[in-house]
Amino acid sequence: MSAKQNRFKQSKKPRRGDVMPRLQWGRMLNRLLLVLVVMGFVYGVERLGHQLESIPVERVVFAGDLLHVSRDVLVERVTRHLAVGYIGLDLEAIQVELEEEAWVYRAEVERLWPRQLKITIVEESPIAIWGEGGLLNHRGKIFEPTGAQDERTDLPVLEGPEGSAIEIMRQYRLMSQLLGDQQLKLVRLQMSPRGSWTAILSGGTELVMGRQEPLEKLRRFLWVYQRTLVADFDRVKRVDTRYVNGLAVAWREQQADSNG
């Protein structure tokens, strides 16, 4: 091979100084394209987010048996949260808002695609009237709806100092079971601020049990009731069980004969 041919072949090889600028420009172009793609993606996501946020809630569906809760009141509470649009809804805030209503025990809030809001309402199930204006649910929680006693006259009345609801409810259940075995019905149970127990039966008879061991005193009363009081119990006004080895009975005064 001649020297001229060797020079020709050598001239065809790219020089290092020529390759490096082309590689650098290629890398810069790739980076620029990547930045443009990312910016376009972010812009698209933001546009989509704005469009979704602007979707209004077209319908609010209520589920559950609404016996005491006003649907109009629930709608008013929910409407306060709808201005943010379907996607922006704060479901937890709506739930808290609804559960502030006295008769609402639990509210479950969920989105239904594309533009609906479903709200399931579970109402309170009171087991007793509490004091003069409240109701007591199955968990010992006191709630105070308007006109509670007017609507629930069939419920027993429980009463006691603050923080005593659960204990009074427990004692009521135990006492009701003992009395029910003898066909007696407990309609009112009260704990005084000093912890003294008093019960009222369906016929109006008052049982005074004091502070110590009310269930044991109730059992003592039932033992005497079965043996000596059952026949004339409608005449018994008050039974005091606070004595160590017995009890005291107060009788109702005999009503004068209307013809006498």
Give 190-254 as a 3 state SS string.
Answer: EECCCCCEEEEECCCCEEEEECCCHHHHHHHHHHHHHHHHHHHHHHEEEEECCCCCCCEEEECCC
- The answer, yes or no, to whether residue 232 has pLDDT greater than 80, is yes
The fold of 59-123 is Ubiquitin-like (UB roll) (3.10.20)
Give domain limits for the chain: 19-47, 59-123, 156-251
> Which CATH superfamily does the domain covering 156-251 fall into?
Cell division protein FtsQ/DivIB (3.40.50.11690)
pLDDT-derived band at 258, boundaries 50, 70, 90:
very low
Q: What is the pLDDT of residue 57?
A: 86
Tens-digit pLDDT profile for residues 14-30: 555 555 566 666 677 77
Task: Say if CB 137 and CB 143 are below 8 A apart.
Answer: yes
89: tokens are: 């809804």
pTM equals: 0.70
Judged by average pLDDT, the poorest of 18-27, 107-116, 127-136, 158-167 is 18-27
Please confirm whether the linkage preceding 114 is cis (ω < 30° from 0).
yes
User: Which of the two residues, 54 and 94, has the higher pLDDT score?
Assistant: 94
CA geometry: angle 43, 113, 52, nearest 5 deg: 20
Provide, rounded to the nearest whole percent, the portion of the chain with pLDDT above 90. 61
* Region 151-170 average pLDDT: 89
How far is residue 57's CA from residue 83's CA, in Å, rounded to a whole number? Answer: 9
